[in-house]
Amino acid sequence: MMKRIELFALACIAALVASAQRASFDIIPLPKEVKTESAQLFTLTAGMGISYDEDNAECRRIAEFLKEWVGEATGMELQLTPGAKTSSIRLAIIAPVKKGKKASQPETATMIEQEKESYTLAINKKGILLSAYEPVGLFRAAETLRKSLPVVKESNGVELPFVTITDQPRFSYRGVLLDCGRHFFSVEFIKQFLDVMALHGCNQFHWHLTEDQGWRFEVKALPDLAKKGSIREKTVVGPSNMRIYDNIPYGGYYTQEECREVVRYAAERYINVVPEIDMPGHMQSALHVFPNLGCTGGPYPVAPHWGVMREVLCGGNPQTLEFLKTVFGELCDVFPSPYIHIGGDECPKERWKDCPKCQAKIKELNLTADNSIKVEGGDNRGSQDGRSAENKLQTYINHEIEQFLASRGRSLIGWDEILAGGLTEDAIVMSWRGTKGGVAAARQNHRVIMSPNVYAYIDHPQLKDYSKQPRTTDSYQVSCSKMYSFEPVVPEELTEEQQDCILGVQANLWTEQVAYPEHAFYQLLPRLASMSEVQWCKPEQKDFESFKARLPKLEKLYDKLGVVYCKQVE
Ligand code: ACM
Ligand code: ZN
């Protein structure tokens, strides 16, 4: 039998565990404005209600998410109370009022993207009010509330200081790339990845679906493409140039049904899926299946090692364009994204220089080298020649695909090498070899996404001491602080109008060295937290020391979600 004093001690401990905890708005990304108007508190307790417009399915889903998140953080179960006027948590869609415009005008059509995502989170004696112009804004507000809650095992009440938070993202495009070509990741993992993206307020999942080392997208008209192109016979072990292989076949691809499921899951979290088919380089897996599409005729293995391959699609073979239109056609059927990524990076031209078909096409199109044009954006592997005839041939292919995509109502994104042969009319440039390509494109009034390798490549190590982390792409460190310090818009480089061309910023997770979900999350976190403040916050709001102080709270949520993250922040 327990003594009375022991029972009392146990009761005290239990009361401590379950007592009311305090919420804090020191979250990541930091909201634009947090006004605490008084020292008063609202106490949220189990059983309280969440109300929303019962005719709005999106609002219902957001209410369900919020219920789940409150339960996850605090153990408290709330109730869904659709339509109720006096619930403790209310989700409200409000009509936008635009300055200088008549209230009768349809505002939503003219609303800029960031405004659509804006929201207010107000807490007072009546409870917690989340309001926004669109459901996406309510979703962002719900995420903010989620991150403000204490993360505990159980709670019998959370005290929330009276506050008015108003928020809006700085950029409309807030992306993360996952390379599923070098290594294949399951749909289940991708869903977890999307959950983590949503937690950080990201809204574009750039899905890199094809690589020299594996074709991952089912094309129904070309069934062998994924069946055979997805499998490499072996994979290099250790440094690629050592050519030591594991001799184990490796493969996997996504059916169109699975891709649609990813699109659906992402859309529920207000994430658009930007699919990438990387061409005309990085195509060796397709060449393996269709060797006639290469300049030499092959044979070509699905690449078993990493690097830039000289075997690329033949630019002079009319079947190349036919093939691409079939692939991009089915891609458009599956992915509703307004943006389709065509790759365009690292396409060596040595085969094209020697290929009779490529040279005949160059002649037919009357493409001539124009080496007096200095291609801004720097250069490396593959397009060293400035505006060579071969680079112009790549632009010709891009133009054909741009027209094709435009007929489906989509815009083309390409890596910054697409500058080399001249940009096609509507091309959006994703600047990866630093920011120069992006700046050059913005100066030509093209839309730009900044993803410079030295700040945004999360396949690189995050710690200075490489021995303290899993093997990664080495050569340089992209620490949390380095990523945090990235400023994508430099006013000295661009006029105000050109600055508006910068749609946003993206972090890229290439997976040559990343074969497992745990490792992928380790590379991603907590650097995605750094990236989220680059994507959401104005420069004057950013402060790395403040960020570091806010990070442990977010890490508690990582723990709850069961995702691996790097515990050291440099
Ligand atoms: C790239 O990293 N090759 C876009
Ligand atoms: Zn050729």
Residue 109 pLDDT level (bands cut at 50, 70, 90): low
Can you tell me the distance from the alpha carbon of 198 to that of 563, in angstroms, rounded to the nearest whole number?
14
Residue 100 pLDDT level (bands cut at 50, 70, 90): low
Q: What is the pLDDT of residue 393?
A: 98
Q: Which residue has the higher pLDDT, 21 or 386?
A: 21
Polymer length of the chain: 570
State whether the beta carbon of 457 lies less than 6 angstroms from ligand 1. Answer: no
Three-state DSSP at 214 gives strand
Q: Which amino acid is at 444?
A: Q
Cα first-last separation, the chain: 53
Q: Hey, which of 345, 418, 455, 473 would you mutate to test ligand 1's pocket, going by the most ligand atoms within 8 Å of its Cβ?
A: 345
Question: Which atom of ligand 1 lies at the shortest distance from residue 415's CA?
Answer: 4
Q: Which residue has the higher pLDDT, 4 or 134?
A: 134
State whether the beta carbon of 415 lies less than 6 angstroms from ligand 1. Answer: yes
Q: Which amino acid is at 551?
A: L
Fold of 173-561: TIM Barrel (3.20.20)
Domain segments of the chain as ranges: 21-98+111-167, 173-561
Residue 380 pLDDT level (bands cut at 50, 70, 90): very low
- Give pLDDT tens digits for 454-489: 999 999 999 999 888 998 887 899 999 999 999 999
Can you tell me the distance from the alpha carbon of 155 to that of 233, in angstroms, rounded to the nearest whole number?
53
Instruction: Classify domain 21-98+111-167 by CATH number.
Output: 3.30.379.10
| DSSP string across 248-284 | --B---B-HHHHHHHHHHHHHTT-EEEEEEEESSS-H
**Is the per-residue pLDDT at 106 higher than 50?**
no
Q: Hey, which of 346, 429, 433, 509 would you mutate to test ligand 1's pocket, going by the most ligand atoms within 8 Å of its Cβ?
A: 346
Q: How, if at all, do strands 158-161 and 41-44 pair?
A: antiparallel
**Is the per-residue pLDDT at 377 higher than 70?**
no
Beta bridge partners of 204: 175, 272
Cβ 48 vs Cβ 89: under 8 Å: yes
**Is the per-residue pLDDT at 1 higher than 70?**
no
Q: At what angle do helices 389-407 and 356-364 cross, to 10 degrees?
A: 70
> Residue whose CA is closest, atom 3 of ligand 1?
345
State whether the beta carbon of 345 lies less than 6 angstroms from ligand 1. Answer: yes
Percent of the chain scoring above 90 in pLDDT: 86
Quote the ligand 1 centre to 414 CA distance (angstroms).
Answer: 10
Question: Which atom of ligand 1 lies at the shortest distance from residue 457's CA?
Answer: 2
Mean pLDDT of 326-332: 98
